[in-house]
């Protein structure tokens, strides 16, 4: 997990909560008037610097060559790549489009928003006029960084758009928790007489899943074939199973699989298996696990189980012995810190745990009920509640609360799916402290604010 904190006050997404139509004309002025400064981090590099500025001087150890830039991009070392890019700018060495695209891809994978802004500016200054395909890559980069404000500004200002443009914005609106805006934009797309493709429908199903609107999702599934002649692929069937199962319609999801005209893939069965675990439906989950074991036994390793309740009772012993650790890298003022679940090694950890313990009573008054079923240790109730405090996302958020400016947003990138208890806790903490937490887990973005989450508890 990575946590990053804004140095200036966070700009709320003006297109959130179904406000696409009202705000489409406001984007340009909003973004010219306000600029958000972010301190972002990445998974691939453990470089620690003492300079807290985004304009940190370039290390003398870098040569400033195109080959060096390309190497850092392929290794996922985004900050080093940006420093080399700055050196190349100072040397007036032109960086061609393929290398810029490689850098944008690395930034999107690292979810480094500050670096995304830097490379965006560089591309606009050095490679304009841009083709629509390049704009699409910028749009995708911002979307992967979780900044749909920036993504939508790019979308709004593009001189032309193609189907890939619409696919990207529709899909990533849903993935970033803006499900209503995803559906609004999809509706606008169709009203303009444009024809969606199969990829766009996957984004729509994702949005319906987040909204818990199964009826609309199934109508879109039917419309995909009846109105647009798109034959559903296995990816579409996986999306529908996820949509049904996320809201707890597990038997219906199973019946849907049985009626599939295609042979269900391991992805279909694994999706239902994981959702059965989330909802505690062990009997059906056990059946799915047996099918997955036949199709691809490697799907049942600790990575596929991470963050989920075991299906079989016999799995519990293995689960206790070996579980993929939840972890995060934390960057504050360009210093990188790593947290793992249960981490007690750092000198500041006493303060983190004290803060979490101090909020526990207020959280319970606000309706928090510890989900101790996710603690698989043979300890008493109080011990289980204490164990929940050690989850890495809580340690990261706690550090953010102690070390960031008041009312600023805390951004976290987690390597596993956020557990139900942490999800409930972060909703309540966001309301108690009046802060917004943007959490990117292994499945989607979660925007916690005022006691609510953008995923509407469907994840």
pLDDT at 391: 83
Judge whether 74 and 149 are in contact, CB under 8 Å. Answer: no
How far, in Å, are 32, 50, 54, 256 from residue 154 at the CA level? 13, 33, 22, 39
What residue numbers bound the domain in which 289 lies? Answer: 232-324
H/E segment holding residue 338 = strand 335-340
Q: Tell me what the mean pLDDT of segment 66-95 comes to.
A: 96
Q: How confident is the model at residue 37 (pLDDT cuts 50, 70, 90)?
A: very low
Cα of first residue to Cα of last residue in the chain, in angstroms, is 18
pLDDT at 238: 97
CATH number of the CATH domain containing 244: 1.25.40
Residue 200 domain-assigned (yes or no): no
Q: Tell me what the mean pLDDT of segment 41-50 comes to.
A: 32
Helices (H), 212-313: 214-226, 234-246, 250-258, 266-279, 282-295, 302-305
Regarding whether 315 and 237 lie in a shared domain, the answer is yes
Domain end: 281, 302, 324, which one? 324
Q: Which residue has the tokens 């997990």?
A: 1
pLDDT at 457: 81
Report the distance separating Cα 186 and Cα 174, nearest Å. 11
Q: How confident is the model at residue 378 (pLDDT cuts 50, 70, 90)?
A: low
- Supply the DSSP symbol for 444: -
**pLDDT per residue over 399-417, tens digit each?**
888 888 888 888 888 878 8
Residue 122 domain-assigned (yes or no): yes
Regarding whether 104 and 121 lie in a shared domain, the answer is yes
| Cis check: omega of the bond before 129, within 30 degrees of 0 | yes
Q: How many other CB atoms are there within 10 angstroms of residue 321's CB atom? A: 8
Beta strand pairing status for 335-340 and 38-39?
unpaired
Q: Tell me what the mean pLDDT of segment 276-292 comes to.
A: 89
Judge whether 192 and 224 are in contact, CB under 8 Å. Answer: no
Domain end: 121, 145, 169, which one? 145
Regarding whether 105 and 133 lie in a shared domain, the answer is yes
- Helices 132-144, 148-157: crossing angle, 10 deg rounding: 170
> What would you report as the CA-atom Rg of the chain, rounded to the nearest whole angstrom?
23
Residue 118 domain-assigned (yes or no): yes
Q: How many other CB atoms are there within 10 angstroms of residue 191's CB atom? A: 8
- Supply the DSSP symbol for 177: T
Q: What percent of the chain has pLDDT over 90?
A: 49
Regarding whether 384 and 317 lie in a shared domain, the answer is no
Kindly report whether the global pTM for this prediction surpasses the value 0.95. Answer: no
H/E segment holding residue 296 = none
Regarding whether 91 and 58 lie in a shared domain, the answer is yes
Q: Tell me what the mean pLDDT of segment 11-22 comes to.
A: 42
**pLDDT per residue over 316-373, tens digit each?**
444 444 444 555 544 444 444 455 555 566 657 788 888 888 888 899 999 888 877 6
pLDDT at 226: 97
Tokens found for residue 314 = 């016999």
- The per-residue DSSP string of 107-138 comes to HHHHT-HHHHHHHHHHHHHHHPSPPHHHHHHH
Regarding whether 341 and 263 lie in a shared domain, the answer is no
Q: Tell me what the mean pLDDT of segment 228-246 comes to.
A: 96
Domain end: 290, 324, 358, which one? 324
Beta strand pairing status for 2-6 and 327-332?
parallel
Q: What percent of the chain has pLDDT over 70?
A: 74
Regarding whether 137 and 47 lie in a shared domain, the answer is yes
**pLDDT per residue over 83-136, tens digit each?**
999 999 999 999 999 999 999 999 999 988 999 999 999 999 999 999 999 999
Regarding whether 354 and 298 lie in a shared domain, the answer is no
Tokens found for residue 307 = 């963050």
Regarding whether 443 and 344 lie in a shared domain, the answer is yes
Please tell me the total count of domains within the chain. 3
Report the distance separating Cα 155 and Cα 140, nearest Å. 10
Residue that wins the pLDDT comparison between 38 and 246: 246
Regarding whether 274 and 383 lie in a shared domain, the answer is no
Residue that wins the pLDDT comparison between 352 and 33: 352
């Amino acid at each position: 997990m990575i946590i990053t904190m804004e140095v200036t006050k966070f700009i709320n997404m003006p297109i959130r909560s179904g406000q696409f139509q009202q705000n489409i004309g406001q984007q340009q002025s909003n973004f010219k008037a306000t600029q958000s400064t972010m301190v972002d981090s990445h998974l691939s590099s453990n470089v620690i610097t003492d300079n807290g500025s985004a304009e940190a001087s370039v290390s003398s150890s870098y040569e400033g060559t195109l080959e060096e830039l390309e190497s850092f991009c392929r290794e996922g070392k985004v900050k080093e790549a940006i420093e080399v890019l700055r050196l190349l700018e100072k040397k007036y060495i032109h960086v061609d489009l393929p290398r810029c695209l490689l850098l944008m891809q690395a930034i999107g994978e690292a979810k480094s928003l500050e670096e995304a802004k830097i490379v965006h500016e560089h591309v606009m200054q050095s490679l304009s006029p841009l083709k629509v395909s390049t704009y699409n890559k910028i749009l995708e980069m911002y979307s992967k960084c979780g900044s749909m404000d920036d993504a939508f500004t790019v979308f709004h200002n593009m001189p032309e758009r193609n189907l890939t443009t619409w696919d990207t914005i529709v899909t990533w609106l849903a993935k970033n928790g803006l499900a209503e805006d995803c559906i609004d934009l999809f509706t606008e797309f169709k009203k303009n007489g444009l024809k969606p493709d199969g990829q766009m429908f996957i984004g729509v199903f994702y949005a319906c899943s987040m909204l818990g609107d199964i009826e609309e999702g199934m109508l879109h599934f039917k419309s995909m074939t009846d109105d647009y002649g798109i034959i559903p692929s296995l990816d579409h069937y996986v999306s529908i199973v996820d949509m049904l199962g996320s809201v707890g319609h597990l038997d219906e999801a199973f019946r849907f699989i049985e009626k599939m005209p295609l042979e269900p893939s391991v992805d279909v069965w694994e999706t239902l298996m994981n959702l059965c675990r989330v909802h505690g439906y062990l009997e059906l989950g056990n059946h799915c696990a047996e099918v997955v074991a036949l199709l691809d036994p490697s799907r049942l390793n600790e990575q596929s189980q991470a963050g989920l309740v075991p299906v079989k009772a016999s799995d519990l012993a293995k689960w206790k012995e070996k579980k993929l650790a939840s972890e995060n890298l934390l960057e504050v003022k360009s210093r990188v810190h790593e947290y793992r679940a249960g981490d007690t090694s750092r000198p500041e950890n006493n303060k983190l745990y004290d803060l979490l313990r101090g909020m526990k009573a207020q959280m319970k008054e606000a309706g928090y009920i510890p989900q101790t079923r996710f603690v698989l240790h043979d300890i008493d109730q109080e011990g289980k509640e204490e164990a929940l405090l050690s989850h890495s996302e809580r340690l990261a958020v706690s550090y953010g609360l102690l070390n960031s400016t008041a009312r600023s947003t805390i951004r976290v990138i987690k390597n596993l799916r956020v557990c139900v208890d942490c999800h409930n806790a972060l909703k309540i903490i966001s309301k108690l402290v009046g802060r917004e937490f943007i959490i990117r887990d292994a499945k989607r973005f979660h925007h916690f604010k005022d006691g609510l989450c953008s995923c509407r508890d469907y994840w």
